[in-house]
Copies of this chain bind each other. A is one copy, B any other.
Amino acid sequence: MKKLLLVYVFLIGVFLIYVYNYHLQASRIRTVNQEEQTLQGKIEETYVMVTFLSGIDYWKNCLKGFEDAAQALNVSVEYRGATQYDVNEQVTVLEQVIAKKPAGIAISAIDPNKLTGTINKAVEQGIPVVLFDSDALSSKAFSFLGTNNYNAGVTAAHKMAELLGKKGKVAVITLPNQLNHQQRTKGFIETIDKEYPEMEVVTVKDGKGDALASKQAALELLKQYPELSGIFVTEANGGVGVGEAVASFATAKKVKIISFDTDKRTLDMVKQGMIEATLAQGTWNMGYWSLQFLFHLHHRLTPSLPSGYPLLPAYMDTGITVVTKENVDSFYAK
């Protein structure tokens, strides 16, 4: 009897150990498989976002996208940037980032040429680099993710036509020497010319990227063209100035304003009806897909071209959303 019981103990014990081991092993196999097949990095794998004027609201949503992707991919991120609008400072920051050999760098270039050398240095050291928001065309970075500025101008033209019932004279206030602003202006003018025969772009003025200069330019416009119905301002500081000019200038009917970006002052003016609409860039997309691209480069998940260059999309248009009184509340930075 005693022996029989010992045998029972032994058998039950062996059986339970067997079951336990089986499950342990099964879960190990699953874990190994997942590491091989899935889009999962390591938490010590660090990707860095580099900006300029690093404290402004504009980058918050880019960083949110970058962080969301990092969480999904189980990796870490760092945020760095030049605090000033200073290309030398951004070069220094980028040098510091490179020295730490991160898993990848997403950078918005303050200057299309002056960062090229440092960006190429990173790529040559095997660090994946993508550009977002603001490109450095001649660099060796693998991809660019940002707004298609011509299309943004097209979107502004359609919205302006909608606001004015497809009729009337309009003007543009822009930064005539900066490529992205030239493209916004071109998309706007070509769309009005082609698709809205009863509308006309009467002039393009320089707002110098400054609220005061843009206010002045708008006041001149309003005097010169008393029949003006709308103004498209291609950047946010100017939009605020133009909003003030129109508010201070007595006209029979309010001149409609379309501005750009979603800083707090612009959104406030949309809320108050001083600006009819503003164009929000796809900043979350810029950050999210930048990290996805960097992760794919770091883990060599894309096939390579015969040159050894990874097959990655050359460009991603991160999209534009029209912000009006109806949806303005959800665009305030959180």
Which positions in A face B, CB cutoff 8 Å?
Answer: 1-2, 5-6, 8-9, 12-13, 16-17, 19-20, 23-24, 27, 30-31, 34, 37-40, 71-74, 145, 148, 151, 282, 284-285, 288-289, 292, 301-303, 305-307, 311-321, 326-327, 329-330
Contacts and interface: CB of A to CB of B under 8 A. Distances in A.
Contact of A37 (B72, B292, B303, B307): B72
Contacts of A2: 1-2, 5
25 contacts: A5-B5, A5-B6, A9-B12, A12-B12, A13-B16, A16-B20, A20-B23, A34-B34, A34-B40, A37-B72, A38-B38, A38-B72, A38-B74, A148-B314, A148-B315, A151-B314, A284-B311, A285-B313, A289-B313, A305-B327, A306-B329, A307-B327, A311-B319, A313-B316, A314-B318
A-B pairs, 5 with minimum CB distance? A16-B16, A306-B327, A27-B27, A315-B317, A314-B319
A317 B313 contact: yes
A303 to B, nearest CB: 6
A17 B303 CA distance: 47
Contacts of A288: 302
Contacts of A302: 284-285, 288
A301 B38 contact: no
Contact of A314 (B27, B74, B317): B317
A13 B330 CA distance: 58
A38 B148 CA distance: 30
A39 B73 CA distance: 7
A288 B296 CA distance: 11
Contact of A282 (B31, B71, B289, B313): B313
B282 A306 contact: no
A203 B329 CA distance: 54
Contacts of A17: 16
Contacts of A12: 9, 12-13, 16
A12 to B, nearest CB: 6
Contacts of A13: 12, 16
Nearest to A326: B306
